[in-house]
Amino acid sequence: MKTCQVLLKPGREKSVRAFHPWIFSGAIDRLDSELGKGDLVKVYSSAEEFLGIGYLNPLSQIAVRILSFRDEAIDAAFFVRRMEQAKKLRQSFVASDTNAYRCVHSEGDFLPGLIIDRYGDWLVAQFLTAGMDRLKLVAVEAAEKVFQPKGIFERDDAHARRLEGLEHRPQTLSGAQPPSEIEIEEYGNKFWVDVKRGQKTGFFLDQRENRKLIAPHAQGKRVLDCFAYSGAFSIYAARSGAASVTAVESQAPAVKILEANLKLNGLNGEVCRVHCEDVFDFLRKDTGTYDLIILDPPAFCKHKGQIHEAARGYKDINLNAIKRLAPGGILLTSSCSSFIGADVFQKIVFGAARDAGREVQILQKTSHAFDHPINIYHPEGEYLKGLLLKVW
C-alpha cells in the first residue's frame, strides 16, 4: 500500500509527541489531494520532523490514527509483532478454565480500529475504521499465524463502520465457518455464544472479572440481574449459591440463550426466574426486595448530544435499584458509554442515592478486564466504569 505524507499545522504536534494515537482534522495543514479513505500516511510536524505512521480518513473528525511512532513498514510482519505482544499479555493472565477473551483491543494493543475476540477455537474480528478495513488481509494473515484458530469470522459494529463510511458485511474471513452457537468456558462457568447475531461479538467479555467479583457476595442472597443479556451474571450468582436469582432482559433472542445457558450449567427455573421485559418498566413496578443487584445496561450515550438524556436514564435505573435493596445490600452498577466519564457516572449515582435517601458506601471502582488493556496515552479507551456499592 502506497504511503504519502501529512503535514501538521504549527503547534499542533504536541499530542502526537505525547504518543496520543489520534490526529483530528483541524490539526492538519496539508495533505495530498489524491489521498483517500484508508490510505497509509506518514505524519510530519510543520518543521517536517517525522512523528508517526498511520492511516487516513479525510471524512472523519479523527483524520489519522497512528499505528506506529517509528518509521517502519506496516505489513504482515508488523501485525505479527503486535499480535505476538498481545498474545503474550493474555498468556500471563488467562485462567486455565477460561477459553473466551479479547485477543486484540484496538488502541489498547496499539492496533487502532481492530478488535479480535477468541471464543474457543474461533476468532471473531471487527474492523471498525476505514484504514483497518484496508489492512484486513494482512491482519487476518497475522491472526492466523499467531492465534491459529479453526476460523476467523468478521462481525461489524454497524454504528462505528457507518461513521467511517463502511458497509455492513459479516462474513467468514478464513478457515471454517463458526457454528451458530459456540460453547465457551469462563472460570468454570459454561455459556453458549451466538457470534453471528449476538451483541458486540457475541458475549460481554469486558465484564468477566466483575462477574467473578460479585460471585462470593451472592451466596444465600436474593439477586436481581438487570439487562441480563445471555445470563452471565445470573449464572455466576446461581452457581455461587444464591437463594434466588431474578434475571430481566428485554430481547427475546437473548432470553432464549439465557435459558439454554441455565440448562448448560445444570440450573433450573426454581433458582433463576427469567423476565422478558423492559428493565425500566420492571424496576418501576417491582415491589421485591433484593440483597444484590447488578445493573449492566447497554450504552445509553453513543454521541455527545445524548449525554443529558443518558444521565437521566442512568439515574432512573440506579434510583429504582437502590430503593429495591435491603439494608446492607450490594449494588454493582456500570456504564459502558464512553462519553460518560467515571467522575460524571459517580455523580449520577450520587444523585440517585441522595434521592433514594439511603446511606451508600463505595467498596470498589471497577473497569474492564485485563484483556481490554488501556493505552496510557489514550485515556479515551477506558470506556467501562463501574461502582460496587454497599447500601444501608
Residue with cell 466504569: 385
Taking the C-alpha atoms of residue 334 and residue 317, their distance in angstroms, rounded to an integer, is 11
Task: Give the amino acid at 343.
Answer: D
DSSP 37-65: TT-EEEEE-TT--EEEEEEE-TTSSEEEE
CB 333 within 8 A of CB 389: yes
List 103, 226, 272, 336, catalytic entry: 336
- Answer yes or no: 272 catalytic: no
Q: How far apart are CA 251 and CA 229, in angstroms?
A: 8
3-class state of residue 233 by DSSP: helix
3-state secondary structure of 191: strand
SS3 176: coil
Q: DSSP states of 321-374 as a string? A: HHHHEEEEEEEEEEE--TTS-HHHHHHHHHHHHHHHT--EEEEEEE---TTS--
Question: Which residues are the active-site residues?
Answer: 336
